[in-house]
Amino acid sequence: MIEYIPLLMFVVVCLVLMAGYPVAFSLAGTALLFALIGNATGHFDIAFLHALPNRLYGTIDNTTLIAVPLFVLMGVMLEKSKLAEDLLDSMSLLFGKFKGGLGISVVVVGMLLAASTGIVGATVVTMGLMSLPTMLKRGYSPSLATGSICATGTLGQIIPPSIALVLLGDILSSAYQQAQLSMDIFTPKTMSIGDLFVGAIIPGLLLVVMYIGYLIIISRLKPSVAPVANLEESDRLNAFRLLRSLLPPVVLIIAVLGSILSGIATPTEAAGVGALGATLLAISRGQLSIARLRDVSRSTTEVTAMVFLILIGAAVFSLVFRGFGGEELVEELFQSIPGGVVGATLVVMFVIFLLGFILDFIEITFVVVPIIGPVLLSMGLDPVWLGIMIAINLQTSFLTPPFGFALFYLRGVAPDSVQTGDIYRGVVPFIGIQVLLMLMLAFWPALATWLPSVVF
């Protein structure tokens, strides 16, 4: 029974989180409680906690994580500068004369917004406030409107550059080295956040194309759910207005990703380019007042503090988990799963999918991935492929009724005329599309691994 204490720790953390306690304190508090009880009963060596200062210093000294506040600043600045709102208006006019055009506009703008912010909640809420009233007013069915907004909002998990990929890439990089050392490979290969960014480009764009394809098909099969907009002559789009709204965010994202792909900048340096570029865009549009700068700074600080506080809590939890022999237990459990690496991967993906109902991507990245990552990677999985699969899996979890985070975010800003059942029905086709993409990645891993091998 004693050897299953690590699993009991994990269960207790989930229960505490479900009770509504803050994530960082739940992780650290549960771990310290188990450590004290284990030390008192002679089952835990308190010396394991002596490594905590070194862990925390390693976090402080990790220059890669500087990208987190910079990408957050970039996203918040773009959101506050009304760029997304102007872009949605222009895209709506551009595609408005086509069947499903407004839905396609939402997907395109959501993709750019997701690439800018990388935070599911922020994207869903922003798109819900901006586009849902317009879609309903133009006769879109509530289920199709809400489903497309929720699905588009979760693209922040997979479209680079996103915070989710920054954090996931950093954790998987450490796990990959740990896995190789456990296999007595003392000159280990490295995997960077840039590798994960590049690996996510093809799956991310493929997912966007599949979303748009579904909207085109459903609008032709059922024209009543996505009617063509009746545009007034005054609403006609001219080239200047389109370029004015489309060019800035596209150039900014290309500058960030292009600097990484070309090797000119590291992800951290590219994040600095993105933050500076977003600030200059806000200034050029006259949207950066002292009050707005204060709001942007406060939002950036809050998100960054949350991320790093969870990282500290996860470091405490990880140390105690290892002190109780958790790594050995997980390895034994994986080895006993039928089907070898395929069976182990399926079980891990299913567990992560379920955890996505109660934990955000930050907690899963910091707590779960360091536990399962080294074991799966030592079984021969490619770290880039595993990272992309985890990201899409979490994206699917955040969409799945009745507990998906994206559904709750949209329910909070949707008008009373939209039923919760409409939101649930609307996301089902998009969940199917994401499952299809995961199956494609399972059968053709090169969708994720080919581009990094070419670029780097």
Position 177 scores a pLDDT of: 86
In a domain, 8, yes or no: no
The reply to whether 49 falls in a domain is no
Which pLDDT score, from 0 to 100, does residue 231 have? 58
Domain count for the chain, please give it: 1
pLDDT for res 214: 93
* Structure confidence at residue 409 (pLDDT): 81
For residues 165 and 118, the answer to whether their CB atoms sit within 8 Å is yes
Of the CA atoms within 13 Å of residue 137, those in its CB half-sphere come to 6
Q: How far is CA 237 from CA 90, 135, 283, 377, in A?
A: 7, 19, 25, 51
Distances (CA, A) of 286 to 245, 249, 281, 414: 14, 16, 9, 30
Sign of the C-alpha dihedral, residues 402, 403, 406, 407?
Answer: positive
What Rg do the C-alpha atoms of the chain give, in angstroms?
22
Name the residue among 429, 431, 386, 441 with its Cα closest to residue 404: 431
Report yes or no on 6 lying in a domain. no
User: Is 405 a domain residue?
Assistant: yes
CB-CB contact of 257 with 197 (8 Å): yes
In a domain, 333, yes or no: yes
Task: Give the tens place of pLDDT for each residue, 259-316.
Answer: 887 878 888 888 898 889 888 888 887 778 888 889 889 988 888 888 888 888 888 8
Is 121 a domain residue? yes
- Tell me the pTM: 0.85
pLDDT of residue 238: 62
Instruction: For residue 300, give the nearest of 58, 111, 117, 86 by alpha carbon.
Output: 117
Give domain status of residue 254, yes or no.
Answer: yes
Q: Which two tokens stand for residue 3?
A: 């050897």
Residues, the chain, total? 456
Distance between CA atoms of residues 327 and 135, nearest Å: 50
The tokens for 315 are 């470091």
In angstroms, the CA 224 to CA 220 distance is: 9
How far apart CA 223 and CA 221 sit, in angstroms, is 6
SS (H, E, C) the chain: CHHHHHHHHHHHHHHHHHCCCCHHHHHHHHHHHHHHHHHHHCCCCHHHHHHHHHHHHHHHCCHHHHHHHHHHHHHHHHHHCCHHHHHHHHHHHHHCCCCCHHHHHHHHHHHHHHHHHCCHHHHHHHHHHHHHHHHHHCCCCHHHHHHHHHHHHHHHHCCCCCHHHHHHHHHHHHHHHHHHHHCCCCCCCCCCHHHHHHHHHHHHHHHHHHHHHHHHHHHHHCHHHCCCCCCCHHHCCCHHHHHHHHHHHHHHHHHHHHHHHCCCCCHHHHHHHHHHHHHHHHHHCCCCCHHHHHHHHHHHHHHHHHHHHHHHHHHHHHHHHHHCCHHHHHHHHHHHCCCHHHHHHHHHHHHHHHHCCCCCHHHHHHHHHHHHHHHHHHCCCCHHHHHHHHHHHHHHHHHCCCCCHHHHHHHHHCCCCCCHHHHHHHHHHHHHHHHHHHHHHHHCCHHHHHHHHHHC
CB 120 within 8 A of CB 236: no
For the chain, which ranges sit under pLDDT 50? 233-234
Is 48 part of any domain? Answer: no
d(CA 173, CA 198) in angstroms, rounded, equals 15
Task: Residue 87: give the domain boundaries.
Answer: 65-315+326-455
What whole-number distance in Å separates Cα of residue 90 and Cα of residue 236? 9
The candidate with the shortest Cα–Cα distance to 131, out of 112, 120, 146, is 146
